[in-house]
């Protein structure tokens, strides 16, 4: 994991050396209940929840770069203070 400041945003990168995300699967990974894991193993909720928290609630962004052996998720969060909404 790596953290950095990207002008007015905080960047948190999480990388792994797993099989990667095939291009055909990539457009669907943030869908709720989408999983490529066997029945009973995946919930398909991890990235849906992450997207809702980071992008919808905090107006950040999640970028993905993936080839076999090198997957990087980059979470961007605004550092500028926004008015509090309830």
Ligand X SMILES: Nc1ncnc2c1ncn2[C@@H]1O[C@H](COP(=O)(O)OP(=O)(O)O)[C@@H](O)[C@H]1O
For the record, the structure tokens of 83 come out as: 């008015």
**Binds Mg ion by CB under 5 A, chosen from 46, 68, 69, 78:** 46
29 makes contact, choosing from Mg ion, ligand X, none, with CB < 5 to 8 Å by partner type, with ligand X
DSSP 51: H
Measured from the CB atom, the residue of 47 and 76 that comes closer to ligand X is 47
- CA nearest to 77, candidates 15, 8, 10: 10
- The SS3 assignment for 79 reads coil
Chain positions contacting ligand X, by CB under 6 A? 16, 18, 20-21, 25, 29, 34-37, 42-48, 71
> In the complex, which residues of this chain contact Mg ion (CB under 5 A)?
46
């Amino acid at each position: 994991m790596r953290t950095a400041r990207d002008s007015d945003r905080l960047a948190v990168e999480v990388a792994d050396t797993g099989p990667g995300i095939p291009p055909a699967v990539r457009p669907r990974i943030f869908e709720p209940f989408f999983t490529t894991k066997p029945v009973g193993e995946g919930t398909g909720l991890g990235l849906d929840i992450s997207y809702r928290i980071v992008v919808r609630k905090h107006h950040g962004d999640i970028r993905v770069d993936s080839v076999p052996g090198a997957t990087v998720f980059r979470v961007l969060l605004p550092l500028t203070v926004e008015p509090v909404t309830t």
